[in-house]
Amino acid sequence: MRTIIAAVSGGLFGAGLLVSGMTDTTKVQGWLDVFGAWDPTLAFVLGGAILPMALAWNITTRRARSVVGTPFPARPDPKLGHNLVIGSVLFGAGWGLVGLCPGPAIASLSWGGTGGIVFILAMVAGMLAANPIRTRIDQVAAT
């Protein structure tokens, strides 16, 4: 059951990325170009993501387990720290330069050409380097 729910959820997510235009790098870069040819249409995508997530968090406060019987993950810490700020800046820079974030990048592998493959390889390298870099940043921040 868990695998079926994951497959349906992943398919729904991918279809949403495709229909909303999030796999189109020029559309995403237009959203981020607030001082140029700004395209505000992706605000509806963001709102469409925030509203169901707020509802889901509300539902989890009244339930002990998920539909498939696993416990819900803990709520994220709302504290604004150096890790969140640095990670957000790096994520935003990559998103702004390329116009892709991880979900749309994977969805666009079939038509992204060499650029999409290079992006995925760089993303994987960043994911592998994240823990050692975070450890180092935490050490520097503690001193």
Provide the pLDDT for residue 8. Answer: 92
- The residue with tokens 């509806």 is 44
- The residue with tokens 């870099």 is 133
Count of beta carbons in the 10 Å neighbourhood of residue 125? 10
Provide the pLDDT for residue 27. Answer: 81
Look up residue 1 and give its DSSP letter: -
Phi, psi values for residue 71, rounded to 5° = -70, 150
Indicate yes or no: pTM above 0.75: no
- Give the tens place of pLDDT for each residue, 100-121: 778 788 877 777 678 778 888 9
Provide the pLDDT for residue 112. Answer: 63
Provide the pLDDT for residue 2. Answer: 82
pLDDT along the chain (143 residues), means of 10: 87 84 81 85 84 87 84 80 84 81 78 78 90 87 79
Residues in contact with 16: Cβ distance below 8 Å, sequence separation at least 6, in sequence order: 22, 45, 48
Angle CA 92–49–131, to nearest 5: 45
